[in-house]
A and B are shown apart, each in its own frame.
Chain A
Amino acid sequence: MNFNELSRLRADLAFIAHWVRPESHVLDLGCGDGVMLDYLQSDKRCIGYGIEIDDDKIPVCVGRGVQVIQQDLEAGLAIFADAAFDTVLCLSALQMMKNVEGILRDIARVGREAIVSFPNFAYWPHRVALMRGRMPVSKSLPYEWYDTPNVRCATIKDFEELANQVGLEVLECVALKDGKPVTFLPNWRGSLAVFRLKKK
């Protein structure tokens, strides 16, 4: 997979991919159909593993030549040694986790750097929905309150605090809208929060 294909499929991943150094050892938590690792392997000569729980996604990853390990992230990253990876990716997965703090501590343990993304709950249409007295439903949070897999709602400001607590230093923080960075009022105008983090 090349960069244009990735941009077309997932603009947010294409932006994030710039932060991953060529030839690095990568762990992708909640790797889905393996598109990010496919790109990183073929275009940036990275190696690594994806973790995914969904039965339907495993054969897709295998078909792409992505090394996928089927596992529930809530069970932690015990199979990986300390500092085993150059970069740990946790992209649009954190908001579905019960034990957010636990997985972040594990990310800090197994990776030297991490990139974490999640839907920004403070994105302005969400704020408007709340002001109207309703839970937000949008492109980035496309579920009703009663059937959402997104059990954690966080804003850019919230996450910074927790990252520091679990031993991760924020190197960069970008808010994306449709895969493009938002510089003016990011915590209002960005729908996806992306953090580049380093182990303290």
Chain B
Amino acid sequence: MKSLGIVSPQSMHFSVPLSLQSGASLCDYTLVYETYGTLNADRSNAVLVCHALNASHHVAGEYAADKGGKKSVGWWDNMVGPGKPLDTDKFFVIGVNNPGSCFGSTGPMHVNPASGKPYGANFPVVTVEDWVHAQARLADALGIRQFAAVMGGSLGGMQAMAWSIMYPTRIRHCVVIASTPKLSAQNIAFNDVARQAILADPDFHGGDFYAHGVVPKNGLRVARMVGHITYLSDDDMAEKFGRELRNGKYQFDFGIDFEIESYLRYQGDKFSEYFDANTYLLFTKALDYFDPAREFGGDLTKALAGTQAQFLLASFTTDWRFSPERSREIVQALVNNKRKVTYAEIDAPNGHDAFLLEDPRYLNVVRSYYSRVWQEIENGEFNHKACA
């Protein structure tokens, strides 16, 4: 299938401080983003794609090969592109990197204008809602008053949901994949194990490791290994690795015996080379804090009462990180509010990771959904004044 080909990121600087949920504020920050496709004349075909924990604004297409000849392909390239479920021949798609990330937007490794040193541990804790406010400012700057859709998987799905609550008139469709209305105690527990691994690494230096010229690699490795386990299903792991031994026999030491150990360590090593430890802490906190029903006494129906968007939700049966039950809670709350909602529960073996993989059942539902969104645009079945 066709791809977008070579894409390149852009950036936009904001000098008006962004007030954060914590009471702190982020002054003078930059957002890095990518766009694909063309914004139509009445600005009604924009779709925002929100990224999850490990991803960035680089949603689709690829970057020109680096020195090593490696081309970096966008994390949702099977979803977004010409002729793909979210078709960039029709829609103007935006991927934006969230503040606190380590992929270009202002984050803990950047210089804090107040101190002249990297933010490090002083980078303010940012929430899903803070990100949505930042994204809304980018939309303002790009002249987009109302999105045809805001879409995301996992933590990205939380952002899409938050958009529907916080800016109900600015989003016509909300696409939430493999997400949850809030983390469970088990989810938070896994996140905290990951954080503890980072915090306990002597190279972390209380978050100011930049000044010491080191990276808390061991902590990041363990954090990623723990995270990765939760992305896969038990069946998937059994199928891929089982009890396969690396060298055919037990080594009777604490090196690598099993293939699964080798795989996880490889994933951890790779991750620790490009991901920032402070970003990992910040992003897992953003996950933990997300709970739109909290200010409504835990009542998700009330939290979603002000939404106006139409919703598409999808979950995967073997996803035990954000299980189908969590998505059904969202569906139930939307049904209680008589919102338009479609829900697909895909019987896929790949656990949470399934949302990034190629499953025709899943991709066909999304494709079909965006065809409807496109039909609405072509037939003008919405309030155009809201877009301009």
Closest to B311 in A: A67
Q: Is A9 engaged at the interface, CB distance under 8 Å to the other chain? A: no
User: Which residues of chain A are near B336, meaning CB under 8 Å?
Assistant: 81
Of B60-68, B164-172, B205-213, B362-370, the stretch lying at the interface with chain A is B362-370
Among candidates A25, A59, A70, A80, residue contacting B343 with C-beta atoms closer than 8 Å: A70
Of B5-13, B214-222, B344-352, the stretch lying at the interface with chain A is B344-352
A41 and B14 CA atoms in complex are apart in Å by 46
Closest to B343 in A: A69
Decide: A67 near B361, CB < 8 A? Known: A59-B367, A79-B332: no
Q: Is A147 engaged at the interface, CB distance under 8 Å to the other chain? A: no
DSSP class of B's interface residues: helix, strand, loop or mixed? helix
Closest to A53 in B: B345
Nearest CB of A to B315, in Å: 9
A20 and B112 CA atoms in complex are apart in Å by 64
Cβ contact within 8 Å between B345 and A71:
yes
Cβ contact within 8 Å between A62 and B372:
yes
A59 and B363 CA atoms in complex are apart in Å by 9
Cβ contact within 8 Å between A59 and B368:
yes
A79 and B367 CA atoms in complex are apart in Å by 26
Chain B contributes a number of interface residues (CB within 8 A of A) equal to 23
Q: Is B323 engaged at the interface, CB distance under 8 Å to the other chain? A: no
Nearest CB of A to B324, in Å: 9
Cβ contact within 8 Å between A67 and B340:
yes
User: Which residues of chain B are near A79, meaning CB under 8 Å?
Assistant: 328, 331-332, 335
Cβ contact within 8 Å between A55 and B346:
yes
Q: Is A122 engaged at the interface, CB distance under 8 Å to the other chain? A: no
Q: Is B342 engaged at the interface, CB distance under 8 Å to the other chain? A: yes
Nearest CB of A to B321, in Å: 20
- Chain A contact-residue range equals 20 to 34
User: Which residues of chain B are near A67, meaning CB under 8 Å?
Assistant: 340-342
Q: Is B371 engaged at the interface, CB distance under 8 Å to the other chain? A: yes
Among candidates B335, B345, B367, B371, residue contacting A70 with C-beta atoms closer than 8 Å: B345
Cβ contact within 8 Å between A68 and B342:
yes
Q: Is B338 engaged at the interface, CB distance under 8 Å to the other chain? A: yes
A25 and B337 CA atoms in complex are apart in Å by 13
Nearest CB of A to B12, in Å: 34
Among candidates B342, B364, B367, residue contacting A69 with C-beta atoms closer than 8 Å: B342
Q: Is A63 engaged at the interface, CB distance under 8 Å to the other chain? A: yes
Could you give, for residues 77-89 of chain A, a 1 whenever the CB lies within 8 Å of some chain B CB and a 0 otherwise?
0011100100000
Q: Is A192 engaged at the interface, CB distance under 8 Å to the other chain? A: no
Among candidates B328, B332, B335, B368, residue contacting A62 with C-beta atoms closer than 8 Å: B368
A61 and B372 CA atoms in complex are apart in Å by 11
User: Which residues of chain A are near B340, meaning CB under 8 Å?
Assistant: 67
Closest to A51 in B: B343
- CB neighbors of A among B314-330 (8 A): 328
A84 and B367 CA atoms in complex are apart in Å by 30
Q: Is A47 engaged at the interface, CB distance under 8 Å to the other chain? A: yes
Known pairs A63-B372, A67-B341, A68-B342 / 4 extra A-B pairs, C-beta < 8 Å: A62-B342, A62-B365, A69-B343, A84-B335
Enumerate chain A interface residues (CB-CB to B < 8 A): 25, 47, 49, 55, 58-63, 65, 67-71, 79-81, 84
What 5 pairs between A and B have smallest CB-CB spacing? Answer: A59-B368, A62-B368, A79-B332, A59-B364, A55-B361
